[in-house]
């Protein structure tokens, strides 16, 4: 596993973004772990988060033509901004970015998009937190395509929960096939489990036998390989 992945897993735990216990996802599934990027709350955390996204972007999109980064409101807004900054400062890649308003602005320049306004033929990468049903993608692709005939170059999320979507295939694979674009994650659930089951964070064991067994049971019910 790459060093930046190991560091990102520990970073999520230390920030309280990755937690273990009893939770319910938006889709109604009871889950023993939860990822909430809304827990990032300082400038230093958000700056570091952008560097992790930038590292994953470089690993997965190196050599690919990308013109624009797009962050779906609301959580995608700080994510796309910090990723754009990190790519410019750390990798010399100055990409345009844009995000959407939830409601159209009726005054000034109006419209639903803030930042760069995409042009025909530009290739767009979505920057998201965690996605299961792909709802924000489905809602915002029409907004982008109402602005211009853009090409969807990819989706980058923080964590691939490796869960089934509507059917038996993984949710990210369903999104990939529906929108004909590759989908990537900084880390997968399997990588999280592998690292935290073998390494303490801040001097404490994060994944003990009980939580590990609950995650295995959850995966038996809802799990799907990222490529199936």
Q: Given 26, 75, 102, 107, which residue is catalytic? A: 107
> Which CATH number belongs to the domain containing residue 49 in this structure?
3.40.50.2020
Determine contact, residues 70/78, Cβ cutoff 8 Å.
Answer: no
Percentage of the chain modeled with pLDDT above 70: 94
Whether 228 maps to a domain, the answer reads no
Active site residue 164: no
pLDDT, tens digit, 9 for 90 and up, residues 16-59? 999 999 998 877 889 999 999 999 999 999 999 999 999 999 99
Whether 227 maps to a domain, the answer reads no
Q: Given 26, 30, 39, 105, which residue is catalytic? A: 105
Q: Which residues pair with 99 in a beta bridge?
A: 71, 114
Whether 23 maps to a domain, the answer reads yes
Whether 131 maps to a domain, the answer reads yes
What are the residues whose beta carbons fall under 8 Å from the beta carbon of 177, sequence distance 6 or more? none
pLDDT, tens digit, 9 for 90 and up, residues 180-218? 999 999 999 999 999 999 999 999 999 999 999 999 999
- pTM comes to 0.93
Query: Could you give the number of structural domains in the chain?
Result: 1
pLDDT, tens digit, 9 for 90 and up, residues 120-177? 999 999 999 987 667 888 889 999 999 999 999 999 999 999 998 888 888 899 999 9
Whether 48 maps to a domain, the answer reads yes
Domain that holds residue 189: 3-222
- Residue 180: its pLDDT value, please? 95
Active site residue 91: no
pLDDT, tens digit, 9 for 90 and up, residues 78-96? 999 999 999 999 999 999 9
Whether 12 maps to a domain, the answer reads yes
Long-range contacts of the stretch 12-17 (C-beta < 8 A, 24+): 12/158, 12/159, 13/196, 13/201, 13/202, 13/206, 14/201, 14/202, 15/39, 15/40, 15/45
Whether 144 maps to a domain, the answer reads yes
Whether 170 maps to a domain, the answer reads yes
């Amino acid at each position: 596993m790459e060093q930046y992945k190991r560091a990102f897993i520990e970073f999520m735990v230390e920030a309280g973004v990755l937690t273990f216990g009893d939770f319910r996802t938006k889709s109604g599934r009871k889950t023993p772990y939860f990822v909430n990027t809304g827990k990032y709350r300082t400038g230093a955390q958000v700056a570091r988060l952008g560097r992790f996204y930038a590292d994953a972007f470089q690993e997965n999109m190196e050599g690919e033509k990308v013109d624009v980064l797009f962050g779906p409101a609301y959580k995608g807004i700080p994510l796309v901004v910090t990723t754009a900054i990190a790519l410019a400062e750390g990798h010399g890649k100055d990409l345009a970015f844009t995000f959407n308003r939830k409601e159209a602005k009726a005054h000034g320049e109006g419209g639903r998009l803030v930042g760069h306004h995409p042009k025909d033929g530009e290739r767009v990468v979505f920057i998201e937190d965690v996605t299961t049903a792909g709802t924000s993608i489905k809602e915002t692709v029409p907004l982008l395509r109402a602005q211009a005939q853009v090409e969807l170059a990819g989706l980058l999320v923080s964590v691939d929960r490796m869960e089934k979507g509507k059917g038996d295939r993984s949710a990210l694979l369903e999104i990939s096939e529906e929108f004909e674009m590759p989908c990537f994650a900084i880390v997968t659930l399997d990588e999280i489990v592998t690292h935290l089951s073998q390494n303490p964070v801040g001097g404490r064991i994060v994944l003990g036998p009980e939580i590990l067994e609950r995650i295995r049971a959850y995966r038996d019910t809802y799990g799907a390989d990222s490529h199936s």
